[in-house]
Amino acid sequence: MIGVDLGGSAIRLGVINDQGRLFGFKSIEIPQSRKKEVVLSLITEGIRKHIQDQISIGNNVLAVGIGSPGIINPDKGLVVTSPNFPGWTNVPLKSLLEKSFNLPVFLDNDANSAAFGEKWRGAGRRVNSLVCLTMGTGIGGGIILNGEVWRGAHGMSGEIGHITVNPEGPKCNCGNYGCLESYSSATGMVRSAIGSIKKGTRTILLRLTTGEIKKIDAKLIHEAAIKGDRLSLNILKEAGMYLGIAIANLMNILNPDMIVLTGAVTGSWDFFMPAAQLEVRKRALKTIVGRTRIVKGKLRGTAGIVGAAGIAWRQSGHI
Ligand SMILES: [Zn+2]
């Protein structure tokens, strides 16, 4: 199978065998304009190259699995809308690619793909149920129940980034107020930092960006926290606290075997996790807390590719 993880800044893809091993990993940069035609042709060319490579060494490609951000209709194979690609409305990605390659194509949400990747070959190999949170620019969620992706009645399940964690919180991109994503994503933490700086909070973040507030990103907040910057430490603690509230709710609703956290923000694990754990212990039912593991994803940057291909393997009946 070819696995494709469509991100906002890059298309990452590779070949995945039925054991979940990844070969020929490639990352194709997406130009800033993110024009639909350009992105589609980059995806097509990337897949074509992989298929040709496989044929040249005598391997047979059976299908393509693709994980895309945004609202996906997996049955119809549509990217309904995607925050990363303005102007993408009801793009029939599945049928476009099927026509190009004459192969079955399986399209799913990128967070569902990452969750399935962690279940199939990552941290969740030995469990039946897990919730996977992808913490990056935004927060994506994927739910695995009885070993399968739970997509919900309308393919909309797992929007964990948009759980309300503070009714009085700031406005989120989705239009709601106080979503988890507004606090515990990279974007949310940067928003908190800039808000505090504008209110006059002292921080070394300004010195690290030579006064250019726009240059503050989550990586810089992490670096400042290492240096003991009070504001950065507090922002990461707050991100952890709200994450803990969300995790406690997930545990109480679903009682999963495991919560898996992946994505760039987990690089700051030691700074946000104590606050998250504290909140989980406070809010999740006592009988659940000690029995639900909260772990880092094991597949690092490849969960989406492995999972997209894994879903294709599963849905075509091979695994
Ligand atoms: Zn939201």
ipTM: 0.99
Q: Output the pLDDT for position 32.
A: 86
CA of 23 to the centre of ligand 1 (A): 36
C-alpha–C-alpha distance, residues 150 and 131, integer Å: 10
Alpha-carbon distance values, 231 to 46, 135, 138, 265 (Å):
43, 21, 21, 17
pLDDT digits (tens, 9 = 90+) for 95-141: 999 999 999 999 999 999 999 999 999 999 999 999 999 999 899 99
CA of 133 to the centre of ligand 1 (A): 15
Q: Which residues of the chain have pLDDT under 50?
A: none
Query: Which sign does the torsion angle of CA 60, 116, 160, 277 carry?
Result: negative
- One-letter amino acid at 188 equals G
CA of 188 to the centre of ligand 1 (A): 11
Q: Output the pLDDT for position 243.
A: 98
Q: What strands, in cross-sheet order, belong to the sheet with 64-68?
A: 22-29, 10-16, 2-6, 64-68, 105-109
CA of 207 to the centre of ligand 1 (A): 31
C-alpha–C-alpha distance, residues 199 and 91, integer Å: 43
CA of 2 to the centre of ligand 1 (A): 32
- One-letter amino acid at 87 equals G
CA of 112 to the centre of ligand 1 (A): 18
The DSSP element (H or E) to which 145 belongs, if any, is: strand 139-145
CA of 97 to the centre of ligand 1 (A): 31
Q: Output the pLDDT for position 173.
A: 85
CA of 152 to the centre of ligand 1 (A): 18
95: helix, strand or coil: helix
Do 205 and 128 contact (CB within 8 A), yes or no? no
Q: Output the pLDDT for position 9.
A: 86
C-alpha–C-alpha distance, residues 65 and 28, integer Å: 17
Q: Which domains does the chain have, with CATH numbers?
A: 2-116+301-315 (3.30.420.40), 127-297 (3.30.420.40)
CA of 221 to the centre of ligand 1 (A): 22
Alpha-carbon distance values, 88 to 27, 37, 54, 93, 110 (Å):
22, 10, 31, 10, 16
CB-count burial class (<10 Å; 0-12, 13-18, 19+) for 73: middle
CA of 115 to the centre of ligand 1 (A): 20
272 closest CA partner among 244, 240, 250, 248:
240
C-alpha–C-alpha distance, residues 36 and 67, integer Å: 16
Q: Output the pLDDT for position 154.
A: 85
Q: Output the pLDDT for position 83.
A: 78
C-alpha–C-alpha distance, residues 45 and 51, integer Å: 10
Q: Which residues contact 285 (CB under 8 A, 6 or more apart)?
A: 251, 252
CA of 4 to the centre of ligand 1 (A): 26
CA of 165 to the centre of ligand 1 (A): 10
Q: Output the pLDDT for position 211.
A: 87
